[in-house]
Chains A and B, each alone.
Chain A
Amino acid sequence: MSDYLWDKSGEPDAEVERLETLLGELRFEPGRKLELPPEMIVPARSRLRPYPAFAVAAALALMILAGVWLAVIRRHSSAASDLQVVENPSEAAPPKPVEPVPAPPRRANEVAASGVSDSENNLGGDDDRRAAPRTPDRFAPTPLRQHPERRVRQGSLNRRIHFASSTRRPDASSPKMLEAKRAKEQLMLALHVASAKINLAQRKAPGITDVSPGASYLIER
């Protein structure tokens, strides 16, 4: 293959030369000059240059501002999540009212002897406990939460520190915690009912002494 087609070097290709001559009449005529309108100017590049610089500067400023703002927000949120004081946890997560456990049916003479009505024994909810009058009988089963010490303790517990972070302690409003609370209430109620029964039995049979520490404690009281 000759190089004439590529750079017109070497031996001329006759066919290519013939085509060049034939098509040469279509060639561009250098006589025709470009007619630029006199008012036409190349727009200055400098007009466009400041915009990228401004854009970069603005982007940097925005990034810095965003960084500062994020740091402040993060600091605030971490402080708040570490230690969130809840004045009343029940406000934060209102627990479902505990359904009262039905007490075993008692005979009328038992009720008369104990002096404790069924409504007083019904320790299902906080409201019921608050509404129940305190019995003067020292052996009468006092509701667990109504004990003066417990009330004080409960008052102090109401102002407890609540860890909201779920990684450290589960949330008080979470279903698991509510279920655990409910189970605890039911257990306490069952214990209380059992102790009341023991008290009652003790009163009915004063000669019998129980050696179990729990029973002796109840008897002493």
Chain B
Amino acid sequence: MMVAGKAKTSAVQAVESAESGGAKSPEAALVALVKGGDREAFGRLYDLYAPMVHGILLARVPFDEVGDLVQDVFLVAFRKLATLRDEAAFGGWLAMIARNRAMDFHRQSRETEALSDELPNRTTPGREAAEVLDVIRSLPEAYCETLVLRLVEGMTGPEIAGRTGLQPDSVRVNLHRGMKLLREKLGIGKDV
């Protein structure tokens, strides 16, 4: 407990010092702490980045698989963190791991048998939400991912850009074009 408490304190101090004008961003400071063996700092990174990973996965895999895959993505990231050279690029690196994990999921699910309907689903989203999500998934990948992060995870455009490592202009364009396509597909107000 004492060790965990000390680690948490050091992580908070590192982030606070980064936020108060240090050279590194708070995320980079946390990554540096994790590399130094601070497991609590990784918990903090999980809190910051789990919605992004969840959104990226939700744009690609079934809803009831997303929770486990989020855990997988963070375990892979923790294991491979030593290979990350630029600590400030953690978000883009993690997003890429999540995308690759979704691709692996589809590759593996093709080789295994489909689950029967009798198996209980952990959580079943509402019918309307599932339908809207299906429409969003039918959009081009760049629009789909950005819209899920915005509409499902509730992240703003600047947050999406900051977490995923994408350019803010790209995110803005993807959001507006994706929203336009979604409105057209859903048949809702075009002039909004």
* Given A25-B129, A44-B82, residue A20 in contact with residue B42 (CB < 8 A): no
Q: Which residues of B are interface residues toward A (Cβ below 8 A)?
A: 34-35, 37, 39, 42-43, 46-47, 50-51, 54-55, 58, 63, 67, 70-71, 74-75, 78-79, 81-82, 125-126, 128-129, 132-133, 148, 150-154, 156-158, 172, 175-176, 179, 182-183, 188-189, 192
The complex places the Cα of A43 from the Cα of B80 at a distance, in Å, of 8
| CB proximity to B under 8 Å, residues A36-60 | 36, 40-45, 48
**B-contacting 9-mer, from A3-11, A79-87, A89-97, A101-109:** A3-11
Q: Determine if A43 and B82 form an interchain contact, defined as CB atoms under 8 angstroms apart.
A: yes
Q: Determine if B51 and A28 form an interchain contact, defined as CB atoms under 8 angstroms apart.
A: yes
Q: Which residue of B lies closest to A35 (CB)?
A: B71
Across the interface, A26 reaches (CB within 8 A) one of B42, B152, B175, namely: B152
Q: Which residues of A are interface residues toward B (Cβ below 8 A)?
A: 1-2, 5-8, 13-16, 19-20, 22-30, 32-36, 40-45, 48
Residues of A within 8 A of B182 (CB): 19
Chain A, interface SS category: loop
Residues of B within 8 A of A8 (CB): 156
> 7 shortest A-B CB distances, which residue pairs?
A28-B54, A6-B157, A34-B46, A43-B82, A23-B152, A28-B51, A7-B156
Residues of A within 8 A of B47 (CB): 30
Q: Determine if B175 and A5 form an interchain contact, defined as CB atoms under 8 angstroms apart.
A: yes
The complex places the Cα of A22 from the Cα of B23 at a distance, in Å, of 40
Q: Determine if A28 and B50 form an interchain contact, defined as CB atoms under 8 angstroms apart.
A: yes
Across the interface, B79 reaches (CB within 8 A) one of A23, A24, A25, A40, namely: A40
Q: Which residue of B lies closest to A38 (CB)?
A: B39
Residues of B within 8 A of A23 (CB): 129, 132-133, 148, 151-152
Residues of B within 8 A of A14 (CB): 192
Nearest CB on A from B129, distance (A): 5
Q: Determine if B51 and A27 form an interchain contact, defined as CB atoms under 8 angstroms apart.
A: yes
The complex places the Cα of A6 from the Cα of B188 at a distance, in Å, of 19
A-B contact pairs, 9 of them (CB 8 A): A6-B172, A19-B182, A23-B133, A27-B51, A35-B71, A42-B37, A42-B42, A45-B35, A45-B82
